Structure 1
Amino acid sequence: MAAGPEEGPSFAMAGVEEDDDTPMLSSRALEALKEFLSEQNSVGIGTGGGEGVGAEEVSLVAEDWRLSQFWYDRVTAETVADEIRALCSSASSRVACVSCPTLYAYLKQIHPDISAQLLEYDNRFKQYGSDFTFYDYNQPEDLPLELKHGFQIVVADPPYLSKECLEKVAQTISFLACPKEFYLLLLTGEVQQDRAAKLLNLHPCGFRPQHTNKLGNEFRLYTNYDPEGRLGGWEPTQ
């Protein structure tokens, strides 16, 4: 829920120097304003454990609910990042993170040697440079040709829990994935379970993804391979 304007730092008249021209903020008030705007534009997600991770934080821009953005919590992001590490068969393995910037950020923090590409609609993630590719699920294959069939591992988190959205993301996955063999991890709502099985031959794992902000919909992690002892394994079919 967005904070109201009164919930930020107070910039009272005491912080304003008046003259005959346009009022100007004092240097102290200006610094406070800069700090407030910075906090509104980004959020730090704490990390603990993992390779090369100390007390540092993984920073992301603030969630924008208008874009259906909900960041994973630390345990979820680290668990999926570690699973990707287990799947990487060689140093040349490439990972596509489709609409899951939390995972990309943690992956680069915990396992920086892994080559990962973030496909995301939000242009604020251009800060990741050449690792960022603009992606609109409504144009599922409108992507650079150099990405076609270039990824051994694809992780996708469709922005909406609809049949239409999942179908289009499935087209994107087909575009990105290596044609012979690839690993697919899908993070989406439990309501998509039957569709995920039909469209992509995916099975639910025991591990339950969580978000920093509690969601009303139960989320699941689906894979096209049996993780065996990892991710809680495949749940038995009923």
Structure 2
Amino acid sequence: MENRVEEKEQEQEEDDDVPQLNASTLAVLQEFLKEQQKVEEAEAEGGEFGMVQEDWRMSQFWYEASTSSTVADEIYFLSRRLQSEDSSSSPSPSPIACIACPSLYSQLKKSYPDLPVRILEFDERFSKFGDDFVFYDYNRPTDVPPTLREACQIVVADPPYLSRECLEKTVQTMKYLSKSPDTSPMMILTGAVQRENISELLQARPCRFRPLHSNKLGNEFMLFTTYDPQERLGGWEGDL
């Protein structure tokens, strides 16, 4: 009997040594686990081209659905027009490159599954997109498959950081991928603070259409194009 009492006392002492969460901390943890479960369920429902959870540590901020749809529609319009103007005998259009804008890639694949789109991304979680995925580090602007060099009919980019260095290297990649940097359509989505740099580096102008993010970023975001969208995307803003 004495041994049993000692064992119970020992078990009680061991239980006392286990850290205990207070009620408020436990509630926060439970809420976090619920949100994680929702994200996992949403990713599963998204299927092959569903999104993963954005990671702010990698400067990832996904677009609102309306923004993704608007830009995807514009890309589809451009692709159709380019295809009709193409005098080559190729039966299929050249690839479209999405640099660091996976939510746009996902929307394109859902809305226009026949478009040949490649996603260039640093985050290897997007390798789930199979052969469409190309690992991309903006610090190595031309380190992409040689088959993509001067091969893309349309190039779209969303530089991960609002620095001139990041923009310069991203623009270098865009020109490297573009079929014809002087004439092929290029689009770039980034902060308004980059307006003058984009004009200098890419000769692109801002559209009146304003891209929005699902997490409501505080800084003003803009869409710049190297071509005249006419009435689409709200048209170009006035001269710089």
Match of 2:71 among 80, 83, 89: 80
Structure 1: which 5+ runs fail to align? 11-35, 48-55
SS across alignment from 1:220: strand
* Pairing of 1:51-200 with structure 2 (within 5 A): 59-88=50-79, 89-90=82-83, 91-179=92-180, 181-200=183-202
* 1:133–1:57 Cα change, 3 Å: closer
* Pairing of 1:38-57 with structure 2 (within 5 A): 39-41=38-40, 43=42
Q: Distance in 1 between matches of 2:41 and 2:100?
A: 18
Q: Distance in 2 between matches of 1:237 and 1:95?
A: 28
- The residue type paired with residue 224 of structure 2 is Y
**Which residue number in structure 1 is paired with residue 237 of structure 2?**
235
Give the deviation of 1:8 after TM superposition: 4.0
Give the deviation of 1:209 after TM superposition: 0.1
Give the deviation of 1:174 after TM superposition: 1.4
TM-score, L = length of structure 2: 0.78
The structure where strand makes up a greater share of residues is: 1
What is the number of equivalent residue pairs in this alignment?
202
The structure where helix makes up a greater share of residues is: 2
Q: Distance in 2 between matches of 1:126 and 1:225?
A: 31
* 1:60–1:224 Cα change, 3 Å: same
Q: CA RMSD in A?
A: 2.4
Q: Distance in 2 between matches of 1:232 and 1:218?
A: 17
Give the deviation of 1:202 after TM superposition: 0.5
SS across alignment from 1:206: coil
**Which residue number in structure 2 is paired with residue 225 of structure 1?**
227
CA deviations 1:64-84 (Å, max 9, x no partner) are: 000000000011000000000
Q: Distance in 2 between matches of 1:207 and 1:187?
A: 11
TM-score, L = length of structure 1: 0.79
Give the deviation of 1:40 after TM superposition: 4.1
* 1:163–1:59 Cα change, 3 Å: same
SS across alignment from 1:61: coil
Structure 2: which 5+ runs fail to align? 1-26, 84-91
- Check conservation: 2:160, 2:166, Cα contact below 8 A: yes
Q: Distance in 2 between matches of 1:57 and 1:118?
A: 14
Give the deviation of 1:5 after TM superposition: 2.9
- Check conservation: 2:49, 2:129, Cα contact below 8 A: no
- The residue type paired with residue 80 of structure 1 is V
Larger Rg: 2
- The residue type paired with residue 7 of structure 1 is E
Give the deviation of 1:197 after TM superposition: 0.2
Q: Distance in 1 between matches of 2:186 and 2:166?
A: 17
Which has the bigger relative contact order, CA under 8 A and spacing at least 6?
2
SS across alignment from 1:167: helix
- The residue type paired with residue 158 of structure 2 is D
Q: Distance in 1 between matches of 2:75 and 2:143?
A: 26
CA deviations 1:109-142 (Å, max 9, x no partner) are: 0011110000000000000000000000111111
Q: Distance in 1 between matches of 2:38 and 2:57?
A: 19
CA deviations 1:184-214 (Å, max 9, x no partner) are: 0100000000000000000000000000001
Identity, % of aligned positions? 49
Give the deviation of 1:92 after TM superposition: 1.0
